[in-house]
Structure 1
Amino acid sequence: MSETPLISVADLPDDAVLVDVREDDEWVAGHAPHAIHVPMGTVPDNLDALPDADEPVPVICRSGGRSHRVVQWLVHQGFDVVNVDGGMRAWAGAGKEMTSENGSEPTVI
């Protein structure tokens, strides 16, 4: 398979619609405000949750490993997706907006 497409956090707008493939506890702790939560193990059953976009859809996890595998699989299925290099750690490290589901200070776990 060809190289997995990558995008850096710096190349994403703050209001980017991302597909976040992390687990529920990671999502609750902190995520990008416009992200769509589709845990990695549920992606094949939730393809209709992926946003319809004119540009490649960014896929994100904590550091880029899980999203890399999801992007490889989705590309093979014909989806126009791209892996977010460095994941949510890079997103948070760049000072981009985050939100939590439990009212606490958003964090990447």
Structure 2
Amino acid sequence: MPTAQVTDLEDGDFLLDVREDDEWQAGHVAGALHIPISEFVARYGELTEAAPQDGRVHVICRSGGRSAQVTMYLVQQGIDAVNVDGGMQVWAAAGRPVVNEKGEPGHVI
């Protein structure tokens, strides 16, 4: 499975967050696209519209399990996608910014 480390991500990299709404509301990466895994198939078109045509999709969840499933699906569709190893837990532990729905400091649940 193609993976990327949190430390490899740069500002401006396209990030797809597949966690559920309550997780997203508590804390997420500013600028990420949020499509919960439970709605992913129905909302797949939102990703194809938002994702950069020639760029990589970095898929993230809480710890890496759900994002791994979505990453494999995207790779099968011919999309350059990678799973963010360790997910939001590692993101937050690395000191990377996490915001809530109001743009204030958030937390990972």
State the TM-score, normalizing by the size of structure 1: 0.88
Alignment of 1:1-109 (within 5 A): 4-50=1-47, 51-101=51-101, 105-109=105-109
Deviation at 1:75, TM superposition (A): 1.1
Structure 1's 15 and 24: CA in aligned 2 closer, same or farther, altered over 3 A?
same
Q: What SS does the aligned partner of 2:40 have?
A: helix
- Determine if contact 2:18/2:36 at 8 Å carries over to the other structure: yes
Identical-residue share of aligned pairs (%): 50
Runs of 5+ in structure 2 lacking a partner?
none
C-alpha separation between the residues in 1 aligned to 2:52 and 2:35? 15
Q: What SS does the aligned partner of 2:10 have?
A: coil
Residue deviations 1:24-66, cap 9 Å, x none?
0000000000111000021112222221242221000000000
Pairwise CA RMSD: 1.5
State the TM-score, normalizing by the size of structure 2: 0.88
